[in-house]
Structure 1
Amino acid sequence: MNSFKIYEAEVIDRALKINDTLIISDIHLGYESTLNKQGLMLPQIQFDKIIDSLENIQKKAKASSIILNGDIKHNFGRIDKQEWREVLSFIDYLQDIFIDIDIIKGNHDNFTQYILNKRNLHLKNHMIIDNYYITHGHELPQEIPENIKTIIIGHEHPCISICSGRRVEKIKTYLKGTWQNYNLIVIPSFTQISYGSDILHEKTISPFIEDINNFEVIAVEEGDIYPFGYVKDIISINHELNNY
């Protein structure tokens, strides 16, 4: 399946499109340097892959605006050389493609504003498009306007594991559910290094997700879209297969 909508927002691989705006989340530029400092020598290959992915998405979307929904860089407590270089290069790339660029603050963006000052951009706590409220998802908003019907978050990095014998494949996913009286969409991470947190086996981290079992799973893989149904049903099927 190549076309799919969640609460009227269009899924284009790991990006969500509303009207003429693309939304991506959790890019985590500079992740390789953090892993290198931890002893895992990973080449700095993520930046080029992110550009390739976004170019393929934009060919389909033809959007004029983009929202980066938090965690544009990886390090919490500082800015390293890779982050300075790649964040600025990424912003320069976006400014050549999109008329408007908005960046929402994530929990990894404690020092991101210092980089954005070089391009006269400012972090925001949230964005509103029509009746959609877009926020990173690591904390609950103090107030939501009355016209809002759907909340869009990142932060969670959702994925699921597909098992075939001893082989396990992870696939990034969207989550479709509700929070209080609002529709809720959780966007997969855009980072190329980590697939994310397996929602079937790991505890969720966003305060917006109160009962993961009642969320629907929409997996994305290289542009293809796979609706998997509800989390509770996937868990039940996995349980039956493991006990067969």
Structure 2
Amino acid sequence: MEEKLIYNAEIADLGLFIENTLIISDLHIGYEQSLNREGIMVPRFQYKMILERLHEILKRYNVTRVVVNGDLKHEFGRITRQEWMEAKNFIEFLKENFDEVILIKGNHDNFTKFIAEKSDLAVYETYSLGNYIIMHGDKITDDIMAKDNSTIIIGHEHPCIGIRNGERLEKIKCFLKGTYKEKNIIVMPSFNFVTEGSDILHEKPLSPFLKNRSIEEFEVYGVENFEVLYFGKIKDILAVKNKFY
């Protein structure tokens, strides 16, 4: 169990489990339609996979509350037909399977409040859960740092780690564990099955909690179908990578 715990929050596949609460982040519902408009032909499979994965988590964990930590939908400036139908249906699914549903605003969620209002839900900037404060991670405000919560949980970054297997580079979604000023921080992978995310070894961070600073002391927890793979610190992974490549 130790390798599944990050600051006492348990890794539950691509989500975090704290007491009776499941936290998921960055679903980007409607992403396939956005790719189709760019000429990238991918089938619309993600919504079905999201539901299947959540059903599996519900079998394994006693969850009564769910927190969606930002970027429920994909498009920035509008709601596509796919987003409206799938996001609305998804919220209804959450309401049917959880006693409490918390939606947090991400940088892709300019219009999510209109979908949420149809289901009598609000969209929040942050949510406090004991010693944890959950926020999307696309911005930092002074009031966040002033709060008493000792651990920040963010999404937004979509972290994954690229592992080379011969000539092939395999990407594995991962959690990151580190610190930001005087607080602990957990960076969650995306609950998105169209892409793996941003490779922490080869791409620059997006979140203001991570960019313009060294994250080599952060620890990496890869996840593959509920199996947790502890890779150690980023600096140690880079040292091995530089030695052999």
Per the normalisation by structure 2, the TM-score is 0.96
Structure 1 residue 115: deviation in Å? 1.1
Aligned residue pairs total 242
Cross-structure match for 1:33 = 33
Aligned with 2:238 (options 235, 238, 244): 235
Give the residue type in structure 1 aligned to 2:70.
G
Supply the distance in 1 between the matched residues of 2:147 and 2:68 (Cα, whole angstroms).
24
In the alignment, what sits opposite 1:184? Answer: 185
1:20–1:64 contact (8 Å) kept in structure 2? yes
Residues 30-109 of structure 1 correspond to what in structure 2 (within 5 A)?
A: 30-109=30-109
Partner Cα distance (1:143, 1:90) in 2: 31
**Counterpart of 2:160?**
159
Deviation string, structure 1 residues 162-208 (Cα, Å, up to 9, x no partner): 11111111000000000000000001000000100000000001011
> Deviation digits for residues 194-224 of structure 1, max 9, x if unmatched?
1000000000010111322110000000110
Paired AA for residue 164 in structure 1: N
Tell whether the 8 Å contact from 1:2 to 1:223 is kept in structure 2 after alignment. no
Q: 5+ residue gaps in structure 2?
A: none
The answer to whether the Cα contact below 8 Å between 2:3 and 2:230 also exists between their aligned partners in 1 is no
Paired with 1:12 and 1:142, the residues of 2 have a C-alpha distance of 31
Q: Deviations over 1:22-51 (max 9, x none)?
A: 000000000000000000111111000000
**Preserved contact between residue 219 and residue 232 of structure 2 (Cα < 8 Å):** yes
- Which residue of 222, 225, 230 corresponds with 1:222? 225
Measure the CA separation in 2 of the matches of 1:40 and 1:181.
43
**Deviation of the 1:161 alpha carbon:** 0.6
Letter matched to residue 148 of structure 1:
N
**Contact 1:175–1:218 at 8 Å: present in 2 too?**
yes
Separation in 2, partners of 1:227, 1:237: 15
RMSD: 1.2
Matched position secondary structure for 1:240: helix
Query: Residues of 2 paired with 1:130 and 1:6: CA distance?
Result: 15
Structure 1 segments of 4+ aligned residues over 6 angstroms from their partners:
none
Residue 16 of structure 1 pairs with residue 16 of structure 2: yes
Give the equivalent residue in structure 1 for 2:117.
Answer: 117
User: How far apart are the structure 1 equivalents of 2:182 and 2:164?
Assistant: 35
Question: Secondary structure at the residue paired with 1:72?
Answer: coil
In the alignment, the residues of structure 2 paired with residue 61 and residue 211 of structure 1 have an alpha-carbon distance, to the nearest angstrom, of 35
Residues in 2 aligned to 1:3 and 1:198: alpha-carbon distance in whole angstroms = 21
Q: Look up the equivalent residue of 1:15 and give its one-letter code.
A: G
User: Aligned equivalents of 2:29 and 2:2: distance in 1?
Assistant: 28
The percentage of aligned residue pairs carrying the same residue is 47
Residues 100-150 of structure 1: per-residue CA shift (max 9 Å, x gap): 000000000011111111111111000000110100000002213542110
Q: What is the letter of the counterpart of residue 104 of structure 2? A: I
Q: Is the 8 A contact 2:69 2:106 kept in 1?
A: yes
What one-letter code is carried by the residue in structure 2 that aligns with 1:64? Answer: T
Q: Any idea what SS the aligned residue of 1:51 has?
A: helix
CA distance in 2, matches of 1:117, 1:107: 18
CA distance in 1, matches of 2:2, 2:229: 9
CA distance in 1, matches of 2:30, 2:226: 25
Q: In structure 2, the residue corresponding to 1:214 is in which secondary structure?
A: coil
Q: Distance in 1 between matches of 2:76 and 2:147?
A: 33
| Partner Cα separation in structure 1 for residue 3 and residue 90 of structure 2 | 27
Structure 1 CA distance for aligned equivalents of residues 57 and 230 of structure 2: 19
